[in-house]
Amino acid sequence: MAIDICGMAPLLEVFDMPTSLAFYRDKLGFKVTGDSGQGDESGWVMLELGGETIMLNTAYDDGSRPDSPDPARVAAHSDTCIYFGCQDIDAAYEHLKTNGIAGEPPAVAPYGMKQLYVRDPDNYNLCFQWPEK
């Protein structure tokens, strides 16, 4: 018998939770559905948008965060990409532009997916995509 999986929630390590919340919640539109109890200063946050879930966790315990991210610790972030199914890529692009999020205009990949890529404050790649008709 196979495992019955009903969802997935990637956990992303972030440097500064308020900055990440300003991006995911305030600009992308995710809703906070759980946190470790300190609001914007929480060490862990669960977010949802369109029935999909992601979690953010701070890279450092309270009081131990350095002034800037450790380059060795975040080197692989650019190798990580979270793909979101998004039926209206052009509307997503306009929403991102309106909210000050830089990105290249959507393009159709050779395998037929219309895609829009952006980076979050911790240099993770985010791709909004949908099959091109």
CATH number assigned to the domain comprising residue 26: 3.10.180.10
What pTM did the predictor assign?
Answer: 0.91
- DSSP state string for 63-74: T---SS--HHHH
Q: In terms of Cα–Cα distance, which of 23, 20, 27 is closest to 95?
A: 27
**Enclosing domain of residue 131:** 77-133
91 lies in some domain: yes
Q: In terms of Cα–Cα distance, which of 3, 4, 1, 53 is closest to 24?
A: 53
72 lies in some domain: no
- If one counts the domains in the chain, the total is 2
Residues 6+ apart with CB under 8 A from 87: 130
40 lies in some domain: yes
pLDDT tens readout for residues 17-65: 999 999 999 999 999 999 999 999 999 999 999 999 999 999 998 888 8
pLDDT tens readout for residues 64-93: 889 999 888 888 888 999 999 999 999 999
| 132 and 81 co-located in one domain | yes
Please count the CA atoms within 13 angstroms of the CA of 35 that sit on its side-chain side. Answer: 16
Cα–Cα distance list, 110 to 40, 114, 115 (Å) = 40, 9, 11
| 50 and 95 co-located in one domain | no
| 53 and 83 co-located in one domain | no
Q: What average pLDDT does the segment 118-129 reach?
A: 95
Q: Residue 76: its pLDDT value, please?
A: 86
How many contiguous H segments (helices) and E segments (strands) does the chain have?
A: 3, 8
